[in-house]
Amino acid sequence: MPNMMLMGLFQGIPLNKKSVWHSGTLPEKITIYQKNIEALCRSEEEIKRRIKNVVRHEVAHFAGFTEEEIKGMGY
């Protein structure tokens, strides 16, 4: 994926992979890269739409969906 900006990142163990054996691990985290999103958008409305999609995309990773499954959902 050359020339692509990272807009969001999920870090942690997806819900569908968690078990009682994962106690004591770091908490899950979603990072939104505001400056990258702002650089790609031309209006306030576009920024809002992009943020909603990025958050949905990263929450889907948290839920355990793969990149292909998420793209199939339109995020």
Structure tokens belonging to residue 11:
């870090």
Total domain count for the chain? 1
Task: Look at residue 57 and tell me if it is in a domain.
Answer: yes
Task: Look at residue 68 and tell me if it is in a domain.
Answer: yes
Provide the 8-state DSSP code for 20.
G
Give the pTM.
0.84
Angle at 36 between CA 71 and CA 28, to 5 degrees: 60
| H helical segments located in the chain | 34-40, 44-63, 67-73
pLDDT tens-digit series, residues 17-51: 988 887 888 899 999 999 999 999 999 999 999 99
* Band (2; pLDDT cuts 50, 70, 90): low
Domain that holds residue 51: 8-14+28-73
